[in-house]
Homo-oligomer: A and B are copies of this chain.
Amino acid sequence: MGKIEENKKKKKDAIVNSAFSLFIDHGIKDTSIADIMKKAELAKGTFYLYFKDKYDVRDYLVRKKAAQLFENAIVKLKDSEITEFDDKIIFIVDYMLDELNNNKILLKFISKNLSWGILRNSIENMSVNDGENAADYIEQLAEESDKHIRNLEMLFFMIAELINSTAHSVILYQQPVELPELKKELYPIIINMIHSFEETN
């Protein structure tokens, strides 16, 4: 029945939200399943009807949060009137860095737990518009701008890893510099990376 399915979705959400807030506040290591379920106001045993263990919840959360972040960036990009491919990429990166800077807690959570496997999976299963995934969308962006990127996935991988790892240190610990300075150095490098991956014909 629709009613039962709906109820199950509600329960899963309660668990996930409770877990997120506890992971953020006390760290994953110091969050027990009992804690999660108490905060979710559900019985301890119920946890195991939805997840295998707390790391299963963590992966689910990282996927979900990373996807949301990226999706928001794309929505904003569509609202803008940027036409150049390079500028679009920088726009997305800039948007995400600002978001993470405003939500350091989310950054801490994502960057400690994001791996390329999870990220790629997120991108592929993320729906930008109906039936269109994020990876396709980026490809489309390149085509629209008449850019020919040799290996879009690889470009993405590198940019993502560079952002993820530098943002972690810079935003959370202002090490070795602060965010504006990072951006100033980072964006030219990203532009260079894009050119590096452009089809040379």
Q: Which residues of A contact B (CB under 8 A)?
A: 29, 115-117, 120, 151, 153-154, 157-158, 161-162, 164-166, 168-169, 173, 175-177, 181, 185-186, 188-189, 192-193, 196-197
Contacts and interface: CB of A to CB of B under 8 A. Distances in A.
A188 B177 contact: no
A120 B151 CA distance: 33
Given A158-B185, A189-B196, 9 more contacts: A29-B29, A115-B169, A116-B175, A117-B175, A151-B185, A154-B185, A165-B165, A185-B197, A189-B193
Contacts of A153: 176
Among A154, A165, A181, the one with the most B-chain Cβ atoms within 10 Å of its Cβ is A165
A169 B162 CA distance: 13
Question: How many copies of the polypeptide does the oligomer hold?
Answer: 4
Contacts of A115: 168-169
A118 to B, nearest CB: 11
A153 B166 CA distance: 13
Contact of A196 (B120, B169, B192): B192
Nearest to A167: B161
A34 to B, nearest CB: 12
A177 B85 CA distance: 24
Nearest to A164: B165
Nearest to A186: B158
Given A189-B192, A192-B196, A196-B188, A116 B176 contact: yes
